[in-house]
Amino acid sequence: MRGFLASSIGVTCAAALAFPPGPPAAATVARPAPNAEVFVPGSTQSLPLASLGRDRVLGAAEQGLPAREVNHFSMVGVVWDDPDTALHGSVQVRTRAATSGVWSDWQDVETHYGDDGADPDTAERTSGRVRGATAPLWVGDSDGVEVRVRAEAEQRAASAGALPSGLRLELVDPGEAAAPQSPPMGAARAASLATGSVTASAANADLVPLGALEIPALDRAGTERELFALRDGELTQQQRVKPYIGPRPGIVTRRGWGADESLREKKFVYTKKVKAAFVHHTATGNGYKCSQAPSVIRGIYRYHVRSMGWRDIGYNFVVDKCGKIYEGRAGGVTKPVLGAHTLGFNTNSMGIAVLGSFGSTRPKAAAVTAIARLTAWKLGLFGANPRGKTYLKSGGGNLYQKGKNVRLNVISGHRDGFSTECPGAKLYGKLGSARSTAAGLQGR
């Protein structure tokens, strides 16, 4: 579907391009509460796309935005009105680096992103705020952009309205988190935090002090003691004799990666248990440094909430390409938080997303090991065997009709529950290794 753009346009100097007159697009900026922990929460510029063809017909098969100067951003995506409408075509962008003024080559944006999301008929899905969207693409600090969207040939031949209605370009500035005070914090300091930051942090109060930036790793003995402290009344006799849980890995908290808690919905939503883990890639590209991972996560978070209309970031956990693990959707890392990661299979599961694109790029060993360590621990909290199989009931909107009990690997790839390439062939091929390592960490 990208054949018409098979050859890329070379690097172009900013001086060679005359921008159209007019001020940069207005940005919507979320501001921290008075006396809150000081974060620069970022902004989103939302720009409507128009026809690039001669006829300028509304809903034409070629739409985009000519090259223009905009406010600074680091992540880009395209959204449209109806989340149940697919974009059958291609999206390409090129951006101007803010530091050098040099334009990038054209880059593909992943269009098959509708299979990430809340289940049909849930409050999150039926809120009226949810939009269709491409994956967000990380481009680094930029101040110029050009985009073109083109329907597949079959769609263009079928009708003039071949592309979804309401196409908009979303330019996300993730903001920069100020260095917070090191935990633990006193009562006076805790009182100065915004309410959302307190509740998100308090969801992990059984593990770390309020305001902690990271949940530290535990050895096996400490993890088993923690398991009994957290779930003593829920454990089977077999679990009491042999807990089968991997050592808890270190996890960067939401406060640690700089989440602006005013963006998300206030309440937490839980499912009953965690029977399976779905592994994803974010399809945001691999051009980030591991030190930039918190910024990438803040960008995805803002895109999921502000641009796509979700209640919070969709994934329960995020892993960067260097193997660091981050808390995703708020509600507590030990709890069965209901995510929006695998359409139709969010109940009784968790979603783990590796930052990057792994269709043709191999994930680093550290990232695969992190998946194994995380699943050995979190699945172990609920007695699940990483090498085993389990049944999940389909919520609909996927490969399986609503209500069907589907047998899946306890550690599955996103493609096992939906017709998608996610988590990319190269990462999907490593899941067998992750299952074996996770089972070994559990002592199986």
Domain range spanning residue 49? 3-173
Q: Are residues 167 and 202 in the same domain?
A: no
Residue 187 belongs to some domain of the structure: no
pLDDT, position 161: 60
Decide: residue 404, CB within 10 A, 0-12 exposed, 13-18 middle, 19+ buried: middle
* Per-residue confidence in pLDDT tens, the chain, 444 aa: 333 333 333 333 333 344 443 333 434 333 333 333 444 569 999 999 999 865 555 556 899 999 999 999 999 999 999 999 999 999 999 999 999 999 999 999 999 876 788 988 899 999 999 999 999 999 999 999 999 999 987 655 555 568 999 999 999 999 987 655 544 555 544 554 566 678 999 999 999 999 999 999 999 999 999 999 999 888 888 889 999 999 999 999 999 999 999 999 999 999 999 999 999 999 999 999 999 999 999 999 999 999 999 999 999 999 999 999 999 999 999 999 999 999 999 999 999 999 999 999 999 999 999 999 999 999 999 999 999 999 999 998 888 899 999 999 999 999 998 888 899 999 999 999 999 999 999 999
Give 114's DSSP letter: T
Residue where a domain terminates, one of 123, 141, 173: 173
Query: 179 in a domain, yes or no?
Result: no
Question: Are 326 and 359 found together in one domain?
Answer: yes
387 and 312 inside one domain: yes
What's the CATH number where 255 sits? Answer: 3.40.80.10
Residues 169, 202, single domain; the answer is no
Do 146 and 215 reside in the same domain of the chain?
no
Say what the pLDDT of residue 315 is: 98
Residues 327, 400 within the same domain = yes
C-alpha distances in angstroms, 263 versus 34, 135, 157, 284? 15, 19, 41, 21
pLDDT (0 to 100) of residue 253: 97
Distance between CA atoms of residues 191 and 202, nearest Å: 12
Dihedral sign, Cα of residue 363, residue 364, residue 367, residue 372: positive
Alpha-carbon torsion (256, 373, 393, 358), positive or negative: positive
Q: Does some domain include residue 181?
A: no
Give pLDDT, residue 397: 83
Residues 168 and 223 placed together within one structural domain of the fold: no
Taking the CB of residue 134, how many other CB atoms lie within 10 A of it?
Answer: 26
**pLDDT score of 114:** 66
- Asked if residue 419 is part of any domain, the answer here is yes
Q: Is 351 part of a structural domain of the chain? A: yes
| Residue 109 sits in the same domain as residue 11 | yes
pTM to 2 decimal places: 0.87
Task: Look at residue 162 in the predicted model and tell me its pLDDT.
Answer: 84
Q: Mark whether 250 and 110 lie in a shared domain.
A: no
Phi, psi at 225, each rounded to 5°: -60, -40
